[in-house]
Structure 1
Amino acid sequence: MDLLPFDQYVASLNRKRMSAGVLFLDTRSRVLLIEPSYKPHWDIPGGAVDAREAPWTTALREVREEIGIDRPLGRLLVIDYVSADGRMPEGVAFIFDGGQISEAEVSELTLTDPEILSARLHTLDEVAMMVKPTLATRLAVAIEAADGGELALCENGKRVAG
């Protein structure tokens, strides 16, 4: 068997997109969602991982930029493999625990990012109608993982392990 020269081998490796989001819950298990100006669906704070950036760094940066919160992340709750869908290449989505947030804190958020129109707390049933279906199932798994103290592995939002 002929082996490729190392540089050719490295160039042939698959590349995946990554995203990192943060789950904030209130005492009633309502999820903090943000309303982006650039797409029809709501989302959790977070975004695409930049080149040469770790997912946890992305999560911290995006939370600070989008909703003005600057506090340490909790543990990793979900790693989700996301299949290519014809429009977007395959990827990996991470959800970190942002901890508890109160309704008063949400009402005092400083939204300086023009990409974010609003931020509000929503029940999981409301979330399911406001976000993409894959994110809705991923968030349900993330809440279970937060309650259970484990890391959940998913494929396209559905739990496969953990």
Structure 2
Amino acid sequence: MPQLTDEAAPDGVVSDGSAPDRDEAAAGTWMTPEAYGASRAALWTGAVVLVTDTDGRVLVQSVDYRSDRLLPGGAVDAGESPSAAAAREVREELGVDGRYPRGLAVDWIPADTPGIPAAMRFPGEILHVYDGGTWTPDRIKSVRLPAQEVTGIHFAEPADLPALMDAGDARRALSALRARINGSGTALLEDGRPTVPTALDRLGVLRTRRTAQHGAWHAGPVPAQLPVRDHRGWLFAPDGRVLLLIARATGAAHLPPPTAAPTAGAFPLGYRYGDGRGSDGRDGADQGAHARTAARLTGLPPAADPAYARLLATPEQVRELSDWGPAGARELAAVHAARTRLSLPAPTRTPPTELPESATRW
């Protein structure tokens, strides 16, 4: 269709030789296809893939042409779709075949982004972030690096990405990871920042290191001879989601204590105990059982501590915001068994909902 401009087309005809209709002529004058094409902004297009391991750490790669680390990916070639480019780049850079049809984020990167050499004449870029899924140890072992360009891979704690990556790349990776946890579709970003931030974005979840709890999972109550280091609750709302606390100052996610709200049907779910290592890796730093109670929420009192936001999230989302090691799958299975025992539905993954500071009743 011919395009409007401030310059009149000669002899009152449009570029295809036909006369504009009366309404179109009244709205403005006409631009030739050549002029319209020249007027459009030119942008680069790129595609990267966000991959995590079973502990929720993000795959980043070292390259021989810059000091910071990158997600796998690169430029979209002429005539190539972004998803095809993502698959090609992962195959070329890591030697792993795959398809990545699910988009996590689309980011607009401005032309004046700092740190890009002027000689590149960078016009700005639209960068697609695809979901590479969770890679098992066997899939990670299948990685084969090329003879040049990629010199190594590393799985990084999400909170460490800003120290490892360019600032914009880290913002984009964290926004894409939160979009994956939200499960609400592709996030639109501008310079790595969501145009419509969710609760996870607003609270800066995953900007600090997750507390490691890698002890073995044991069902049932804590034996009398074991000291209890801490006690947390899987507290279920009527829709099957659970209460989650987020520290506003740090973005750290925590299950609440079982006394955080009035409940019904409480019972000991299980406990973690085993390796005796704290989040800093020191032996003996984490001696004691981490007890878990399951219960059905009957309401919420007014927020007692303004330092914490209260969210409802699915059990899977709680696990993805936690560092529970290999035993995490066993705890999650116990949580769903508890939900069934409490006659509650399986929740649908939606973005975690921030609850008001006022009281809530069900």
TM-score band (shorter)?
over 0.9
Partner of 1:156: 191
Aligned length: 162
Please tell me the residue identity of whatever aligns with 2:69.
Answer: W
Q: Secondary structure, in 3 states, of the residue corresponding to 2:31?
A: coil
TM-score normalised by the chain length of structure 1: 0.92
Counterpart mapping for 1:123-138 below 5 A? 123-138=157-172
Instruction: Show the counterpart of 1:28.
Output: 55
SS in 1 for 2:90: helix
Say if 2:107 and 2:189, in contact at 8 Å, map to a contact too. yes
Contact conserved, 1:66 with 1:113, CA < 8 A, in 2? no
Residue 75 (str. 1) matches residue 133 (str. 2): no
Q: Distance in 2 between matches of 1:10 and 1:89?
A: 16
Between the aligned residues of both structures, percent identity stands at: 31
**Deviation for aligned residue 1:104:** 4.6
Give the aligned partner of residue 78 of structure 2. Answer: 51
Instruction: Using the TM superposition, give the Cα deviation of residue 72 of structure 1 relative to its aligned residue in structure 2, in angstroms.
Output: 1.6
The equivalent of 2:179 in structure 1 is: 145
> What displacement does 1:107 show?
4.0
Query: Could you give the per-residue CA deviations for residues 75-103 of structure 1, whole angstroms, max 9, x where no partner exists?
Result: 10000111112642211111000011134
Larger relative contact order, structure 1 or 2 (CA cutoff 8 Å, min sep 6): 1
- Quick check: which one's helix share is greater? 1
Single out whichever of 104-113 and 63-72 deviates more from structure 2: 104-113
One-letter identity of the residue aligned with 1:109: V
Q: Which amino acid aligns with 1:160?
A: T
- Tell me which of 155, 159, 166 is aligned to 1:121: 155
CA distance in 2, matches of 1:135, 1:103: 26
SS in 2 for 1:19: strand
Amino acid at match of 1:43: L
User: 1:124: how far off?
Assistant: 1.1
Match of 1:161, SS state, is coil
**CA 1:61–1:155: 2 relative to 1, 3 Å:** same
Mean CA deviation greater in 84-93 or 113-122: 84-93
